[in-house]
Structure 1
Amino acid sequence: MQQIDWYVLGGTLLFIVLYGTWKTRGSKDVTDYFKGGNQANWWTIGLSVMATQASAITFLSTPGQAFHDGMGFVQFYFGVPIAMVIICLVFIPIYHRLKVFTAYEYLETRFDVKTRTLTAILFLIQRGLAAGITIFAPAIILSAVLGWNLTYLNIGIGLLVIIYTVSGGTHAVSVTQKQQMAVIFFGMFIAFLLILNYLPLDVSMTDAFEIAGATGKMDILDFSFDFENRYTIWSGLIGGTFLALSYFGTDQSQVQRYLSGRSLKQSQMGLIMNGFLKVPMQFFILLVGVMVFVFYQFNTSPLHFNPAGVEDVMNSQYASQYETLQQEKRALETELSAKQISYARASSTTEREQLAEEISVLNTSEEQLREDSKKLIKKANPEAETNDKDYVFIHFILNNLPTGLIGLLLAVILSAAMSSTASELNALGSTTSIDLYKRNVAGKSEKHYVHASKWFTLLWGLIAIGVASIANLFDNLIQLVNIIGSIFYGNVLGIFLLAFFIKYVKSNATFVAAFITQAVIIYIWWIDLMPYLWLNLVGCALVMVLALLLQTVFFKSNENSEMS
C-alpha cells in the first residue's frame, strides 16, 4: 500500500466515526437511544437494513465463493423478497401497534416473561457470536495479506464501532450506515469496471460472460432435490425464506432498524426496498467474483491465495514439490490464456464448442493443481486452514488495483464490518437492557436506562472483540455466519409464529418445546444430517409441532384447572 491508500482508508473511516458521533450526540431518553426518536424515513431504513446484513464477510467471501463455485450462491437469497412481504403484512403492524422497543417484548404479552427471556437469550447467544465473527472476518484476512497484527486489528475495528454506537445508539447506526453503503456501492462498481478494463482489448463484456459461462460459472439455477447440494432453488426459496423471516422478522439487529421508522408505512417501504434490491446486490457482488475468475483466465494467479498457507509449505520439506506444482500451473496459464483469446475471436459455433471443451479440461487441471497444493500445505502444517476462498478478492485488490483505489476498497471492507457490527452491538445492548435489565430492575429514570444501555453496548463490544480474538477461519466465513443463524433462527421464528397465529398454545408448552427443539437442532447440525439452510424450516416446524403436542397432552388439564 502506498501513502495515498493510507490517506484514503484512514480518512474514510475517520469521517464515518466522527460524523456519526457528532450527528447523534445527546440522546435524551430510551426512545431516542433505541429508536432514533422514530425519525427514520423509508430509504434510511432500507439502506440500514441492507448495511446490517452486508458485513465485511459479504465483500470478502462472496466474490471468492463465485470465483470457485460460480453464481449458484445467489439462490440463497431468493427467499428474501417473499419474507419481506410477509414481515410487512404480519410482523411490523404488530410491533408498531404495541410500540415495543424489542421484538421479544411482544412474547411476554402473548406468553409470559420466561418465554420472552428464553428467546432474548437465544438471540444474545447467536448474535454475540456473529458480532465477533463480523470483526474477525476482515481482521484475519487483512492480517494475513498485509502482515498487520491480528489482535490489534480486532481491537481497532471493535473500538471504532464502539465509539459511535455507544455514543449515539440506533440513530448513530442508521446515520453512519448511509455513508458506509455509499462507499460500498461506489467501491464495488469501480472494481467491476476496472476488471473489464484489464481484460484483453478484443475481449468484450459479452465475451467475458461467455467465457465464464463456458466454465459453468454463470449457472444460476439448480432445480435438483440433491440434499448434498447446499444451494438449490428449493433450499433458497424454502430454507432461505424461513431464514429471512427469522432474521428480518425476529432478530433485534434488523427489527431495531425498522422500529426507528417515523410511521408504519415508512418501515414497510424500507423493508420492501430491501426486498427489491437485496438479490440484485448479491448478484452483482457474485458477478464481480466471476469477473475476477475471468481476469485470471488471462493473467497469473497464485496456486493458493492464502499467504499464510504458502509460507507454511515453502518453509517445509515440501517446498520443492510445491514449486513443481507452481511451474505446472504457469504452463497451464499460458495455454489457457491463448485458448481463451481464441475463444473470444472464434466466429463459428462449432469452433467455440470445441474450444470450450478444451478450456474446461484446462480449468479442471488447474483446479486439481490447487487441490494438490492444499494437500501439501496440510502435510507441512496439519493445523493450517487450506480454504482460501476468502482471500481471492483481497488478493486481486492489492495486486491489481491502482494506488488510491486500494485504500478505497479496503475502506469498503472495513466500512461493511463496522456497519454490520454496529447494528449487532446496538441490538445486543438494547435486548440486554430492555428484555433483561429493565424487566427486572423497574422504576428507574429514563436517563438511568440510557446510561445502562450504553454500558451494555460497551460490554457486548468488548465480548465481540474477545470472540474475534479466539475465532478460527471456517470453510467460508459467509457460510459460518449463516450456519450460526440457522441453528437458532428456526426455533425463534417458530415461537413467534405460535404467538401470532396459534392462540391455543400457551406459554409452558412453548417454553418446553423451544428447549427441546434447540437441543435437537444443535444435534442435527453436529451430525451433519442436512444442509444448514434446511435447519431453519426443521427448527420452525419442530417447535410448533412439539408445542401443539405438549399443549394437548401435558398442559391442557393444568391450564383448564387454572381457569376454573
Structure 2
Amino acid sequence: MENHSFGALNYIMLLVYLFAIMMVGVYFAKRQKSTEDYFKASGRIPGWAAGISVFATTLSSITFMSIPAKAYTSDWTFLIGQYMAIAVLPIVFIYYIPFFRRLNLTSAYEYLEKRFDVRMRLFSSISFMLFHIGRIAIIIYLTALTLIPFIDINPLFIVFLIGVLCIVYTFMGGIEGVIWTDVIQGVMLSVAAIAIFVMICFNVDGGLGEIYNLTASADKFFPAENFSWSWTESHVPVLIIGFLFASLQQFTASQDVVQRYIVTESIEETKKALVMNAKLVAIVPVFFFGVGAALYAYYSQNPQLLPEDFNTGGILPFFVISQMPAGVAGIIIAAIFAASQSSISSSLNSISACFTSDVYERFGENKPATKILFVARSVTVIAGVMGVLASIYLIYSNESELWDTFNSLIGLMGGPMTGLFMLGIFIKKANANSALVGVVASVISVLFVQSFTDLNFFFYGVIGTLVVVIVGYLTAPLFKSKLTESKLDNLTM
C-alpha cells in the first residue's frame, strides 16, 4: 500500500496546532516559581478545566484510534466498560478526595508512608514511574506505527513532533501548562470524534439510518452471547468488574489523576472536575464507537476503496488521509497528536512529582526551593528523553513484544497499589508489616495467575487489589502498629 501525500495544507494545520501548544507552555513558564506552582499550580485551576484534563489524560491516541477499529471489526461491548469511570465517582467523592485534600500531598504516595512506612511509599512511587516511562514509549511508538503506513512523514519526525515538543512545553509550563494544553487537546479530541462521525454520515448512502441498519443487521452493537459469564473472554460481566477496578486504580492510586485533585482551590472545585470528566466520559466515547460503526457502513458500501490485506487497526487514519479534504485531515491528525501529547505530558509531570517528592526531598538534608524546582524540571526532561529513546528503539528494532512484556509486568503493580490505599483508608487495624505481606502475596498471586492460567487479563487488577486487602487484614494481628490512635484516626475512615 502506497503512502498518501500529506500535503502542504495539512502540514500547515498540524504545525499551527503544535505552535499553539508550545505557546501555552511559554505563557505559563513565567508562573513556575516553586514546586508548589510546578506540581499544584498553587490551586489556580478551575474545576471544569481540571475535569477536561482528567479526560484527556486518560484518553491516549491509541484509544482514539483503537476504539473505532474495535467497533469496525467487532462490536460495541467495550463501551460498557467506559462507564465504570462514572460508577466509581461516589466512592472517590466520599472517601478519597477528602484524604488527598486534607493531607495536602504533592505525591499521592506520601500517604502510604504516613499510614504504613517508607517501603510502601517507594514501592508504589517507583512502580508508577517505571510504568509511565514505558507508557510514554508505547504511546509514541504505536502512534507512529499506526501513522507511518498512511502518511509520508519520517518516523523520527513523528517521534520529534509528539515526544520532544511535549517535553519542552511540559518542562516550561509545569502542571498548569499541562492542564491548559490538556483542555485544548481534550476539546480537539471530542470535536474531532464528532466531526468525523458527521462527515462519514454524509458519505454513507442512506445516512445515519443506514449506518444503524447495517450495524444492527451484522449484530455489531451488543451481541447477546457477550452477556454470558466467562473466565477467559472479555464479556460484559468481566468488563464491568475489570473496568471498575481499573477505574479505581486510576482515580485512587495513580498520580497523574490524583494530582488533579490538588490543583483546584477547594474540594467543591475538585468534585466539579470529576463531574465534568463524567459528562465527557458519558458522551464522547459513544461518538468514537459511532465512528467505527460509520466506517463499517461506509466501507461495506465501498469495499473497492480498501486495499487488499488491509490492517483494520489503522482504519481511522486511513479514512482521514484518503477521504477527508486537505486541511481537515491535518486537523484530525493534529487531534491524534493531541491525544498522544495529553497523556505523555501528564505522565512526565507526574513522574517528576513522584521523584522529587518521594525520592529527592524525602532523603538527605533540606534543599533550597530553587534547587528542588531545578531537579523537578530536569526529571521531566530525563523521563521524556528515556521514553522517546525507547520508542525510537522499538520503531527500528521491531521488538515490541519484549517491551510489552516488561510493561505488562510493571503494569501489574496497579492492583497492589490500589489495594494499599484501600487497606490504609478502610482497615484501621492494618499496619506496615501486614501491608508488606499483602503486597508480596498480591504480586506473587498475579504473576502466578498470569503465567499458569488462562484467566482473562481484566481479572489481574481485581486479584492484585483484593489480595492486598484480604491478606493485609488477616495478618494485621500478627504485627504491632507503630501509629498512635490519634494518628490512625486522621489517616483512616
The equivalent residue for 1:229 is 233
Within 5 Å, give how 1:530-545 maps onto structure 2.
530-545=455-470
1:216 is paired with a residue whose SS is coil
The equivalent residue for 1:432 is 355
Within 5 Å, give how 1:76-475 maps onto structure 2.
76-200=81-205, 203-219=206-222, 222-232=226-236, 234-300=237-303, 326=308, 388-471=311-394
Are the counterparts in 2 of residues 42 and 269 from structure 1 also a CA contact under 8 Å? yes
Report the AA paired with residue 143 of structure 1. Answer: I
The equivalent residue for 1:12 is 17
TM-score by length of 2: 0.90
Q: How big is the shift at 1:148?
A: 2.8
**Could you tell me how far apart the structure 2 residues matched to 1:486 and 1:268 are?**
28
Q: How big is the shift at 1:441?
A: 3.1
**Could you tell me how far apart the structure 2 residues matched to 1:228 and 1:303 are?**
33
Are the counterparts in 2 of residues 493 and 540 from structure 1 also a CA contact under 8 Å? yes
Moved more, 411-420 or 113-122: 113-122
**Could you tell me how far apart the structure 2 residues matched to 1:219 and 1:428 are?**
38
Q: How big is the shift at 1:211?
A: 1.0
**Could you tell me how far apart the structure 2 residues matched to 1:527 and 1:248 are?**
30
The equivalent residue for 1:341 is none
Distance 1:279 1:521, change over 3 A: farther
Name structure 2 gaps, 5 residues minimum.
1-5, 485-493
Q: How big is the shift at 1:3?
A: 1.1
Are the counterparts in 1 of residues 46 and 269 from structure 2 also a CA contact under 8 Å? yes
TM-score by length of 1: 0.79
Are the counterparts in 1 of residues 193 and 284 from structure 2 also a CA contact under 8 Å? no
Report the AA paired with residue 297 of structure 2. Answer: V
Within 5 Å, give how 1:480-559 maps onto structure 2.
487-527=412-452, 529-553=454-478, 555=479
**Could you tell me how far apart the structure 2 residues matched to 1:301 and 1:452 are?**
56
**Could you tell me how far apart the structure 2 residues matched to 1:438 and 1:83 are?**
33
1:165 is paired with a residue whose SS is helix
Distance 1:184 1:276, change over 3 A: closer
Distance 1:273 1:558, change over 3 A: closer
Runs of 4+ in 1 over 4 A off after TM superposition: 301-304, 472-475, 479-486, 556-560
**Could you tell me how far apart the structure 1 residues matched to 2:339 and 2:143 are?**
9
Q: How big is the shift at 1:517?
A: 1.5
Are the counterparts in 2 of residues 483 and 532 from structure 1 also a CA contact under 8 Å? no
**Could you tell me how far apart the structure 2 residues matched to 1:443 and 1:189 are?**
51
Name structure 1 gaps, 5 residues minimum.
305-325, 327-372, 375-387
* 1:507-538 C-alpha deviation (Å, 9 max, x unpaired): 01212321332233133224453112111111
Say whether 1:21 aligns with 2:33. Answer: no
* 1:207-242 C-alpha deviation (Å, 9 max, x unpaired): 21111110011227742102232141x223322111
**Could you tell me how far apart the structure 1 residues matched to 2:476 and 2:285 are?**
42
Q: How big is the shift at 1:136?
A: 1.6
2:450 is paired with a residue whose SS is helix
Give the alignment's Cα RMSD to 1 decimal: 2.5
The higher radius of gyration belongs to 1
Q: How big is the shift at 1:481?
A: 12
Are the counterparts in 2 of residues 61 and 389 from structure 1 also a CA contact under 8 Å? no
Distance 1:152 1:3, change over 3 A: closer
Distance 1:93 1:557, change over 3 A: closer
When the two structures are aligned, how many residues end up with a matched partner? 474
Q: How big is the shift at 1:425?
A: 0.6
Distance 1:292 1:14, change over 3 A: same
Are the counterparts in 2 of residues 75 and 231 from structure 1 also a CA contact under 8 Å? no
